[in-house]
Chain A
Amino acid sequence: EGQLVVSGGGLVKPGESLRLSCTASGFSFSDYRMNWVRQAPGKGLEWVSSINSGSGIIYYADSVKGRFTISRDNTKNSLYLQMNSLRVEDTAMYYCAKEGSHSNWFDPWGQGNLVTVSS
C-alpha cells in the first residue's frame, strides 16, 4: 500500500508563499497519479489538485487555480504543492494521496500538514 509523509506547513501572512512536500515510500511512485486534498478546520474535504505520472496532465480546483502549482520529481519519489498569494481561506490541513488504478479513489493518504494563513 505504501506510505506518504507531508512536510512544509506552517504559519504565514496573507499574500505570502509556502511549499508543501509529500514523500512516498513502499510503492512505485512514478506509476501513479497523485493528488492534494485539504480540510479547513471543522470542515469537510476539498480536492485541490492532481498530477499524472508523467506530469503532463494537471488539474486544479477553481479555488486555487492561478495561485497554486502542483509538481513532482519521480527520481525523488516526491510530490510538491507551491502555494502563492495565500489567503486566510486557504487555512487548512493539507493531505497528499495516491490515486488508484483505473478510477480515482485515494489510498493511502499522508498524515496531513497544517497551513495557517493569518495576519
Chain B
Amino acid sequence: QSVLTQPPSVSGAPGQRVSVSCTGSSSNIGADYDVHWYQQLPGTAPKLLIYRNNNRPSGVPDRFSGSKSGTSASLAIAGLQAEDEADYYCQSFDSSLSAVVFGGGTKLTVL
C-alpha cells in the first residue's frame, strides 16, 4: 500500500487528453511538500517529467503539465502519442515517515 495513491491504469486514444491523479494526506502533499512526476518506459530507468509541482525540465514537451491542490496532485498529458505509453509515478516527501514517498504508479495505454 503506497502512501501516495494513483490509479493503476488510464487509457486514451491518440490525440486525446488524459490525466493521472496522485492523492496524499496532510503529512505529505497537504503539508505543502512538492510533488514530482516520472515517466518510466518499459525496461528503462525512470525519467523526470515534472518537478516542483508544475515545472518541466528542458526537453520535456509542453504536452505534459502538472498541478497540485490541497492533498492531491495531477499530471495531464495532452495530444496523446503512441510513445507516451509508459508507467507514470508521482513522488513527494512525508513528514510523518521522514521519507521520500512514491505513488504506486499508473500504466498509461494509448489505444
Q: A-side interface residues toward B, CB under 8 Å?
A: 35, 37, 44-47, 50, 59, 61-62, 95, 100, 103-112
What 10 additional pairs, Cβ within 8 angstroms, besides A61-B99, A107-B48, A108-B48? A44-B104, A59-B98, A59-B99, A100-B51, A104-B36, A104-B91, A104-B100, A105-B91, A106-B46, A109-B45
User: Which secondary structure characterizes the binding site on chain A?
Assistant: strand
Q: With A105-B36, A109-B46 given, is the CB distance from A47 to B105 under 8 Å?
A: no
**Chain A residues positioned under 8 Å from B89 (CB to CB):** 44-45
Task: Give the A-B pair count, Cβ closer than 8 A.
Answer: 59
Identify the B interface with A (CB < 8 A). 2, 34, 36, 38, 45-48, 51-52, 57, 89, 91, 93, 97-105
Residue of B nearest to A106 (CB): B48
Indicate which residue in B2, B45, B52, B99 contacts A103 across the interface (CB closer than 8 Å): B52
Identify the closest chain A residue to B57 (Cβ).
Answer: A107
- A44 in contact with B100 (CB, 8 Å): no
Find chain A residues with CB under 8 A from B38 CB: 45, 106
Say yes or no: B100 contacts A50, CB within 8 Å.
yes
